[in-house]
Amino acid sequence: MQAELEIFERAAAARGRLLRVEADRSGSAVSYLVLTFDIGRIGITPSDDGLAIQHFADAAELPAGLGSLDEEDPWWRLLGNPITAAWPGGVEEGLGAQGLGSLMVLKLRFREDSENPRIVRLEAVGKAVRVSLEG
């Protein structure tokens, strides 16, 4: 889990700006989610052990059949904003959470605490990734 979480931690350390969001279907629960930042692409899928996270170096590596979620909630609110923290659900300390087994819930913070942050919750639910905006 820690290696997968580090992908988002590196994006947050670089303050990567969210440019595009794609999935295999629209709605709040998807089977494959890709977040494109100005610094790279990150894919999220459900697995037997929670969320599986993968870095894609090139757009050609992305699976076929993805559609844009840019105009769907909560993504339209976040486009152009930097990711500033990532942590497993239930851990409220931000970057560097250690010692947990599987990554069932992942929280991503866009914008700094002083800049009206938005927190997206990604949760593995069966064969889907459920997406919600907290607060």
Q: What does the domain layout of the chain look like in residue ranges?
A: 2-134
Where b means 16+ CB within 10 Å and e means fewer, 38-57 reads ebbbbbbbbeeebbbbeeee
Residues 6 or more apart whose CB falls under 8 angstroms from that of 114 comprise none
Residues 6 or more apart whose CB falls under 8 angstroms from that of 73 comprise 133
Q: What's this model's pTM, rounded to 2 decimal places?
A: 0.88
Whether CATH 2.30.310 fits 2-134: yes
Residue pLDDT tens, the chain, 135 long: 578 889 999 999 999 999 999 999 867 789 999 999 999 999 999 998 899 999 998 888 998 999 999 999 999 999 999 999 999 986 554 444 444 557 899 999 999 989 999 999 999 999 999 999 997
Tokens read off for 73: 């909630």
